[in-house]
Amino acid sequence: MEILLNSGYTLVIIAAVVGLFMAWGIGANDVANAMGTSVGSKALTIKQAIIIAMVFEFAGAYLAGGEVTSTIRKGIIDASFFIDSPELLVFGMISALFAAATWLLIASALGWPVSTTHSIVGAIVGFAAIGVSPDAVEWSKVGGIVGSWIITPLISGVIAFIIFNSAQKLIFDTDKPLQQAKRWVPLYMFLAGFVLALVTIKKGLKHLDLHIGTTDGYIYALITAVLVAIIGKIFINRLKFDESAAIKTHYANVEKVFAVLMIVTACCMAFAHGSNDVANAIGPLAAVVSIVDNGGQIAAKSTIAWWILPLGGFGIVAGLAMFGHKVMATIGQGITHLTPSRGFAAELAAACTVVIASGAGLPISTTQTLVGAVLGVGMARGIAAINLGVVRNIVVSWVITLPIGAGLSISFFWMMQTVFI
């Protein structure tokens, strides 16, 4: 207890630095997954992708990141267990952050596709269950989180399947696909805008002390969605179509319309990623700050300190600005056999799933959800070839991440205990 009073601010600063480092790592590495499909299908240049990612990652983190942060902060661990020894929770959270950030760094250096969400959840559960006591973990909540990791890729796969099939029916399998594309693509933009705006308004703005009623919320979301669709329509009307391209492949011009749509879904994806993944960096930080601020009291109901969400957003954007270019360049160079009409279905489905999960406070993996969506499009016979070997590697890396995150976090936890006590 005295430790918290004597060196409370040192601990907060340590936590903030590690949290920033973690956010930075997420920005540098994980964003490539969120934006990769847009860059890979040549709908966006690297520069455009980075600008979009910066704006929307920050907006997502700041506007809609609160709910997941709360879960990471106090949903996984049974706080009552730490009432007598709050310093253990502080050490544990810092260790968890340290462990997740270290693992992210190692995995990035080795080129393994790990999930930041899995590493932080594994790390928190690890220090609490082994370092303290298995009873310190809210196992039912953890069960729910792990269950969501299995269910969300499934849901996003099903949504992607439906979206892709609807695009086939409405646009591709018609006499005049180009006209149909011009007519229906704004509808998908509307859908994307609506889901995003609704989740932000209903779930995200709470912590900003903006309270909007249910009906008002729907009306604002509708207005936002219509605006998005109208702006999209204007851009589509300004497209120039190459008549000679239409002779070679019938769908070259249609893909141009979808490329505009992909800009919208890329924004959604960045927003969704920001809203969900920022919590991995700042959730533990928020826990540390709230305990130290309350002088060792573990407050059941406390708001997140105002500076924490922007700090996470800033960290992600900084990582993106410094390393995003390099990571995106490797994507841009590689030939991807992905056209905007397939990419949009996967991105839109994944973004919607992630944003809804974020609104529900579930820390899920963006990449995992996106992989689920890609498989959904594949099931609809939309993608020429999906490398199941790579899919398997990704899944394996997720499973491995849990024990490794836990192990690292336990070692850091014991180390901190010997240093500070």
Partner 1 sequence: MARSTILGVFAKSPIKPLEKHIRLVVKCGNLLIPFFSACYEKNWSEATKVRRRISKLEQDADSLKRQLRLELPGGLFMPVDRADLLELLTQQDKIANRAKDIAGRVLGRKLEIPACLQKQFSEYLSRCIEATEKAAEAINELDDLLATGFRGREVVLVEKMIDQLDEIENDTDSMQISLRKDLLALERDLNPVDVMFLYQIIDWVGDLADLAERVGARLEILLARK
Q: Least CB distance from residue 164 to partner 1, whole Å?
A: 7
User: How far apart (Å, rounded) are the C-alpha atoms in residues 366 and 276?
Assistant: 8
- H or E element in which residue 399 lies: helix 388-420
Q: Tell me which residue of 316, 317, 312, 287 sits closest to 302, measured CA to CA.
A: 287
Number of Cβ within 10 Å of residue 369's Cβ equals: 31
What is the C-alpha separation between 270 and 60, in angstroms, rounded?
A: 7
Binding to partner 1 (CB under 8 A) within 351-370 occurs at: 367, 370
Binding status of residue 46 toward partner 1 by CB under 8 A: no
Q: Is 10 in the site for partner 1 (CB under 8 A)?
A: no
CB 111 within 8 A of CB 330: no
Closest CB 338 distance from partner 1, rounded Å: 5
Binding positions for partner 1, 229-258, rule CB under 8 A: 249-251, 254
51 contact partners, CB below 8 Å, separation of at least 6: none
Q: How far is the CB of 199 from partner 1 (least distance, A)?
A: 23
List the one residue from 154, 360, 386, 400 that touches partner 1 (CB under 8 A).
386
Angle 32-226-198 (CA atoms, 0-180°, nearest 5)?
60
Structure tokens at 383: 């993608």
Task: Report how far residue 365's alpha carbon sits from residue 357's, in angstroms, rounded to the nearest whole number.
Answer: 10
Q: Which two tokens stand for residue 71?
A: 């879960």
Nearer to partner 1 by Cβ, of 178 and 286: the residue is: 178
Pattern of binders to partner 1 over 304-343, x per CB under 8 A? ----------------------xx--xx--xxxxxx-x--
Q: Which of 40, 75, 157, 217 binds partner 1 (CB under 8 A)?
A: 40
| Smallest separation, CB 123 to partner 1 (Å) | 19
**Interaction between residue 415 and partner 1 (CB under 8 A):** no
Candidate list 141, 144, 172, 420; residue touching partner 1; CB under 8 A? 172
Amino acid at 327: V
| Interface with partner 1 (CB under 8 A) | 29, 32-33, 36-37, 40, 107-108, 111-114, 164-165, 168, 172-175, 249-251, 254, 326-327, 330-331, 334-339, 341, 367, 370-371, 374-375, 378, 380-394
